[in-house]
Structures are given as C-alpha cells and as structure tokens.
Amino acid sequence: MSDLRERARELDAADELAAVRADFVLDGPEDLVYLDGNSLGALPVNVPGAVEDVVRRQWGELRIRSWTESGWWTAPERIGDRVAPLLGAAPGQVVVGDSTSVNVFKALVGAVRLAPEGRDEILVDAATFPTDGYIAGSAARMTGCTVRPVDPGAVPDALGPRTAAVLLNQVDYRSGRLHDLPTLTAAVRAAGAVSVWDLCHSAGALSVGLDEHGVDLAVGCTYKFLNGGPGAPAYLYVRAEHQARFDSPLPGWNSHAEPFGMRAAYEPADGAVRGRVGTPDILSMLALEAALDVWSRPDVSVAAVRAKSLALTDFFLECVAGYVPGDRVEVVTPAAHAERGSQVALRCADAGAVMGRLIAAGVVGDFRAPDVLRFGFTPLYLGFAEVERAARVLARELSRTD
C-alpha cells in the first residue's frame, strides 16, 4: 500500500497537466474523489463569470441587440469551430445545438438519404446507449428501413448491398471499450454505406480523427469530458463533401438560406449550418463556449490528455489489483490501450449497493445495471493520489459484510 501511495506522489509530481486542475471548481471534502466526469464534467472556474456577463450585460443591458453585437446568432457555428479540433475536424463542419438525441436523429435520417438508392437497412451497435437504439428504430420507420443490431467487431461481415447507414459508438458507455473507428469507418465506406459515430464518451478524452479517417457524420454531447455543464448543447458533424446533399429531417428557420425571409418554401443554408433547427439555447451555449477555453492553454492538447488518461487508468487498474481481492470484482474494460477509453468498468454482484457506499465515503463514480461499477477519468483535473485513494476505499467497501 505504501509503495502505491509513493508511486502516486511521483506520478503527480511529474504530471504535465497538474496545473490545469486550478481551472476547475472542485469544492467539497478534501478527500473527495470525483470519478464521474464521464457523466458530468466539473465546473470550469471561468464559466460563472461568463454566464453572469451573458445574463446581466448581454441579456440585461443589450437585450435584442446581443443577437448581432454579442454574436448570439453565429454561436452554433463559432462554437462548433472550437469543438472541431478536438474531433480532428477542419472548420466549417461542426454545428453546436440541440441534444445528442436530436442530433442522432438528424444524422441517421440524413445518412439514409445520403446512401445510394435501394438500400434499406441500418446497422446499429448492439450495445449502444438505449436512446440511440430507440431513435434508430424511429428513423428506420420514417425512411422505410429495417434496423439490425450488430456487435461493432462484426460490422465488416454484416455489411452488404442493402446497408444504408451504420450507427456506432467510439467508446462503449458501459464497459469503456474503445472501438476501432478507422478500420470500421473504412469498411463502411468500402461497402458504399454511410457512417454515423456517437462520440459522447470519447470527445475530449482521446483522439477521434474524423477528417483523417473519412467519417461521414458524427454526433456527441459536451457535458462529459468537454465540461459544458448539465444539459449543455450537443454537436453535429457533417463531412464537407456531404454538406451540399445533407437533407436534415428537421428543417427549421435557423437552417434556412434566408432565415429572416420568412418564406413558405424551405431552402437549406450552405454548409454545416443546415444542421441547425430552431433558436439556439444561448445561456447554455455560451457557458459551453467559456468551458472550452481550457483547450486554448499551451499545455493542453488532445495528445497530452490521452496520454494522461491511459496513465490514470493503468494506475487505477494496478491499484485495484493490489488492493481488491481477486475474486471480488471482474475488470470489464480492456487492458490494451488501443481498446480502452477513459473509464474503467468493474463487475460485481452487489454493484448498486457498493457504489452507494463509495459515494457516501467520498468516491463518486456511478452504477450501471445490473452489476457494473463505472469510474470515469478526466485528465484535466484528476490526479494520481486521488486514483490511489479511490482504489483503497473501493477495497475497504468491498470487504464490508454488513
């Protein structure tokens, strides 16, 4: 135990991202360990002031003038261009707004409409977050397609001449498994289908490479590793080569070529703007814009964050192996770096009760039914000493018999 504590101190001393922690509000007991950033990221210190300015000055003083003078109208594209580098995308391909669920619907129906004629099947990640599956079913009914759940690893063999679109998660939300986006995207493209990736559990924690790997469409949330706040708007990526043909199933006045023309006939705007629908949710959108400032620091990059993510999860797994009896939990998350996101999932029979005790003891993770303890590792504000403590408290709570 003392060896692991000393290792944690050494790793924290060498951590090139350690100073970034001061950019976040981490109030609470001194020994609190927050391992749920894959559900809701911590509050960046600059966000309250930014939101106060939006409310008091932009809304309170400028009022309607802020649509132009404060840049409210262009916020979805402007903030999209700030998210884009974190996804490996060039400017002009990401628009921010709506929820992830709404953007999945837009992307999936849009994907079917981009696909060659005569294709009537949508492949969906069999272990996907439930909402993605629900929306895929609705999109299929709307477009005359059928839905076929497939394990991501089996996608290349499942593709065929009927495949219109494929909806996959880069990181499995339960297990933390990282799927092979480059290989799977290449297989989808070779089959003539359209790829749609859900990046909720990867953006802000690891490299995505949308442009490099030929991804067609992608969606994701901003309240996890991007720390945009509860209910922060999601984003939609439309590859540049598809934008002229992207046909959103939710055409709104904000995506019209002449939004203030109030014309009865719809004419889509050029570029990613056609992914917009209605009036932007300005308060949460500008809170997100402020939260993204941390990525402008010279010491913060996706590569540095990914390197620390792997180091944190490696160390946590080492501590769990050192502290927790071998028959008490099963590690669900892959050990291989190429297959691991930024979370660790452990299976145990009484996971719900155990997580309740962990939270009461100051180690905040979450529980996924029926038997998974899930721990998220946000490299921007998490340290190695906290990781060691979390594993130690886990061992203690697992040993309880009451």
Residues with a catalytic annotation lie at: 129, 198, 223-224, 374
Q: What is the spatial distance between Cα 137 and Cα 124, in angstroms, rounded to a whole number?
A: 10
Q: Is the Cβ–Cβ distance between 34 and 26 less than 8 Å?
A: yes
**Angle, vertex CA 44, rays to CA 8 and CA 28, nearest 5:** 60
> With the CA atoms of 226, 230, 232 and 238 taken in that order, what torsion angle do they form, in degrees rounded to the nearest 10?
60
Contacts of 78 (CB under 8 A, 6+ apart): 71, 289
Q: Is the Cβ–Cβ distance between 307 and 149 less than 8 Å?
A: no
Q: What is the spatial distance between Cα 291 and Cα 300, in angstroms, rounded to a whole number?
A: 13
> Which of 236, 231, 177, 165 minimizes the C-alpha distance to 201?
177
Tokens matching residue 227? 């720390």
Which whole-number Å values give the CA distances from 141 to 135, 196, 249, 290, in the listed order? 10, 18, 13, 39
SS (H, E, C) 90-112: CCCCEEECCCHHHHHHHHHHHHH
Q: What is the spatial distance between Cα 315 and Cα 246, in angstroms, rounded to a whole number?
A: 44
